[in-house]
Amino acid sequence: MAQVRASDEFPLFDLSAHPLDPLSGEELERVVAIVRRDQAQGAQTLFETVTLHEPDKETVRGFAPGGAFPREAFVVVLDRRTARTYEGVVSLSEDRVLSWKHVEGVQIRVLAEEMDEIQDLVKSNPDYVAGLRRRGIEDPDKVIFEGFGTGNFGAEEERTRRLTRPHSYYVENPGDNPHARPIENLVPVVDLLEKKVLRVEDGEVLPIPPDPGHYRAEAQASLRPPLARLEITQPDGPDFRVEGHAVTWHNWSFRVGFTPREGLVLHTLSYRDAAGERPVVYRASLSELVVPYAETYGDHYRNHSFDLGESGLGVCVNSLSLGCDCVGEIHYFDVDMANGYGEAVHYPNAICMHEEDYGVLWKHSDLKRRSSEVRRSRRLVVSSFYTVGNYDYGIFWYLYLDGSIGFEAKLTGVLYCRAAADDESPKYGRLVAPNLNAMVHEHYFNVRLDMSVDGDANSVLEVEADLVPTGPGNPHGNAHGVRETLIECEADAARDIRPELGRYWKVINRSRTGAGGGHPGYRLVPGANVKPMHQPGSAFMKRAPFVAHDLWVTAFDPAEKYAPGDYITQSEGEPGLPDWVQAKRNLVDTDVVLWYTMGLLHIPRPEDYPVMPVEYTGFTLKPNGFFDRNPALDLAPPRHCGT
């Protein structure tokens, strides 16, 4: 096991057993201490990011258990004394800062610690207190607010100041829904660096919605009887095996990772068959989740929250509970992260892993012999849940016995609403309770897939139905074939779904050939999707131009991690996917990355209030020529089948 050298301040201690293991709490504290020591960062410094600086692929693939490896951390800090943002790489192995640079003209995420610091500042502001009184609220302690980003609409202060525009909610009694009673048109504009309320935008007074929006069990008039007990047990134990962050399950193996921005990450997914351990995906993660709103009233036109780039999805992770979030034979992974002050925080049960029965995998009945062969499907589920303000998101990865990989996002929580006038019929939303307008919006999830199908030398084909017009070659109008188009260059790598043609994309390895003569591959099969609703040239489309296309393909670059760019807070638009493909890099027989965006249009309905039943979106990666035949033929028949 690799070790760092001892220093006067820190004793010798063992590092993680693998180069991709997330940083432990002890390592996080050590990284922060090195930064404070070597870069003279004091108590006023905010630590936006302290995470593993992932080694290059050669180091990871060449690692042998027990071998030495460099252990490094990547950090992003805001020195509030100078209003400067810095990026650095810290070596735990060498006990020093390896690199340190000032990143000009950017803002880090707005951190929870900053919002805590301004609570009393805002609630004691005389203009804010007067605005509450205009609305009949005498006690500021019955108000909560959340720090919404300002976006960027060209104002000078958005370029030069570090801002937040908190939205306020009236919580009359403890336990009331904290998002059910918005206080409309009362927005303090706060400079977070100066800790100063620049102004309070106090506009039209609208009624505070009267319904407290109770959803807790104790607040319901009556409850149904509890559901009949459904016990999921595995008397023989689960089929997965866990060693640290490494997981094996049937023929699958992979590693579990986590970052403060992305949350759950899967590394080095591979499938073992007669040919050995065969890589499929090197790294899979959510790249961005952005939620733009359609409302034009008040300042709601500003609302398009980047839940990774502006909030940090990982730091919003839930600790999961057996029987509630996960059922069955569960393995949990804990997570350690540094908070904004650089203190290590432990998150127990942040990631849940378990197996699920998934119905019939394959079946055929021989009616003449009156016999039937059936195999049941089972999937491995790796999941985590995040609460970002009013919304709760579940991020689920599924591995299947037939070699497929699934991604699913589950959306629940509380609708984001504004107050409505007594006689108002909202144009861009729906009334879900008296004076409560649930605004129309979308959710766009972008997933980054660093592919490695039988190795890194991959190519991407766009595959769709090839329709043949009725004529001499198709006299009965029934002919339709398959059209495959090789995506050769990034200039042609912004693609869109075509449901009417069944379009999908296939990643292949042309250096290998299967028994049938084709190349091993995996196809990305899209699910339901929508196109962007915001107009070209709008502030949202400038900041999130990646949503203009469903799929982007890029040549691998370790610096290109997030679809909208690295620093989206208050940015007019960072260099991101549309900029990267301008390099027109080769995409044939090389290391390629797929960036797939799923859009979901949410037109609220009464049944979404006061808490929303889960909505789903996702996609599937399916083997396509990766195997010579059904890889699940060797499954044993189900026990007691037919008895």
Q: What is the mean pLDDT of residues 345-370?
A: 93
H helix runs in 485-629, sequence order: 539-543, 577-580
Q: What is the mean pLDDT of residues 197-220?
A: 96
**Type of residue numbered 147:** G
Residue 495 to residues 149, 280, 402, 463, 549, Cα–Cα distance (Å): 30, 22, 28, 12, 6
Gap between the terminal Cα atoms of the chain: 51
Residue 70 and residue 184 share a domain: no
- DSSP letters, 560-571, are ---TT-S--TT-
CA dist., res. 90 & res. 616, Å (int): 39
Judge whether residue 5 has pLDDT over 60.
no
Q: Are 489 and 585 in contact (CB under 8 A)?
A: yes
H helix runs in 40-125, sequence order: 57-61, 112-117, 119-123
Instruction: Output the pLDDT for position 515.
Output: 80
Residue 456 and residue 489 share a domain: yes
pLDDT bin (cut points 50, 70, 90) of residue 7 is very low
* Secondary structure, 3-state, 243-302: ECCEEEECCEEEEEEEECCCEEEEEEEEEEECCEEEEEEEEEEEEEEEEEECCCCCCHHH
Backbone φ and ψ of 598, nearest 5°: -110, 125
Q: Are 595 and 552 in contact (CB under 8 A)?
A: yes
The strand pair at 441-451 and 494-495 is best described as: unpaired
pLDDT bin (cut points 50, 70, 90) of residue 368 is confident
CA 158 to chain CA centroid, Å, is 26
Q: What is the mean pLDDT of residues 464-470?
A: 96
Q: Is residue 237 part of a domain?
A: no
Judge whether residue 12 has pLDDT over 70.
no
Q: Is residue 636 part of a domain?
A: no
Q: Is residue 316 part of a domain?
A: no
Q: What is the mean pLDDT of residues 539-568?
A: 97
Residues 55/61/62/64 CA torsion (nearest 10 deg): 100
Residue 565 and residue 436 share a domain: yes
pLDDT bin (cut points 50, 70, 90) of residue 451 is very high
Residue 449 and residue 559 share a domain: yes
Judge whether residue 6 has pLDDT over 70.
no
pLDDT bin (cut points 50, 70, 90) of residue 23 is very high
Asked whether the bond before 637 is cis by omega within 30 degrees of 0, the reply is no
Backbone φ and ψ of 490, nearest 5°: -60, -25
Q: Are 576 and 546 in contact (CB under 8 A)?
A: yes
Q: Is residue 345 part of a domain?
A: no
pLDDT tens-digit map of 194-204: 999 999 999 99
Nearest of 247, 373, 278 to residue 627 by alpha carbon = 278
The strand pair at 371-388 and 344-366 is best described as: antiparallel
Last residue of a domain, which of 198, 219, 240? 219
Judge whether residue 39 has pLDDT over 70.
yes
Instruction: Output the pLDDT for position 642.
Output: 60
- Mean confidence (pLDDT) of the chain: 94
pLDDT bin (cut points 50, 70, 90) of residue 236 is very high
Instruction: Output the pLDDT for position 370.
Output: 83
Show contacts of 358-365: CB within 8 Å, 24+ apart.
358/400, 361/401, 361/402, 361/632, 361/635, 362/630, 362/632
Count of the separate structural domains present in the chain: 3
Q: Is residue 502 part of a domain?
A: yes
Residue 493 and residue 592 share a domain: yes
CA dist., res. 199 & res. 567, Å (int): 26
Q: Can you tell me which residue has the tokens 């459904």?
A: 230
Residue 544 and residue 504 share a domain: yes
DSSP SS3 for 122: helix
Last residue of a domain, which of 75, 103, 131? 103
Burial class of 38 by CB neighbour count within 10 A (0 to 12, 13 to 18, 19+): middle
DSSP SS3 for 580: helix
pLDDT tens-digit map of 478-511: 999 999 999 999 999 999 999 999 999 999 999 9
Instruction: Output the pLDDT for position 11.
Output: 37
Residue 49's domain is classified under what CATH number?
Answer: 3.10.450.40
Residue 610 domain boundaries: 248-307+358-623
Residue 365's domain is classified under what CATH number?
Answer: 2.70.98.20
Tokens found for residue 38? 């070597």
Instruction: Output the pLDDT for position 175.
Output: 87
Q: What is the mean pLDDT of residues 329-339?
A: 97
Residue 381 and residue 281 share a domain: yes
Q: Is residue 518 part of a domain?
A: yes
CA dist., res. 115 & res. 188, Å (int): 13
Instruction: Output the pLDDT for position 372.
Output: 85
As annotated, the active-site residues are 307, 391
CA dist., res. 415 & res. 58, Å (int): 45
CA dist., res. 187 & res. 169, Å (int): 11
Q: What is the mean pLDDT of residues 559-585?
A: 96
Judge whether residue 111 has pLDDT over 80.
yes
Residue 126 and residue 99 share a domain: no
pLDDT tens-digit map of 407-434: 999 999 999 999 999 999 999 999 999 9
Residue 419 and residue 521 share a domain: yes
CA dist., res. 264 & res. 520, Å (int): 28
Residue 123 and residue 71 share a domain: no
Q: Are 292 and 301 in contact (CB under 8 A)?
A: no
Q: Is residue 154 part of a domain?
A: yes
Q: Can you tell me which residue has the tokens 């059904």?
A: 630
CA dist., res. 614 & res. 626, Å (int): 34
Neighbours of 145 (CB within 10 A): 23
Instruction: Output the pLDDT for position 79.
Output: 97
Q: Looking at residue 93, what DSSP letter applies?
A: T
Among the ranges given (203-207, 259-263, 299-303, 511-515), the one the predictor scored with the smallest mean pLDDT: 511-515
Residue 262 and residue 204 share a domain: no
Burial class of 102 by CB neighbour count within 10 A (0 to 12, 13 to 18, 19+): exposed
pLDDT tens-digit map of 431-450: 999 999 999 999 999 999 99
Tokens found for residue 61? 């693939």
Among the ranges given (105-109, 229-233, 401-405, 465-469), the one the predictor scored with the smallest mean pLDDT: 229-233
Residue 128 and residue 92 share a domain: no
Q: Can you tell me which residue has the tokens 């959710």?
A: 443
Provide the percentage of residues in the chain whose pLDDT is more than 90.
90
**Type of residue numbered 426:** P
Q: Is residue 336 part of a domain?
A: no
DSSP SS3 for 301: helix
Last residue of a domain, which of 103, 134, 154? 103
Sign of torsion over alpha carbons 286, 252, 385, 341: negative
Burial class of 335 by CB neighbour count within 10 A (0 to 12, 13 to 18, 19+): buried
CA dist., res. 148 & res. 142, Å (int): 19
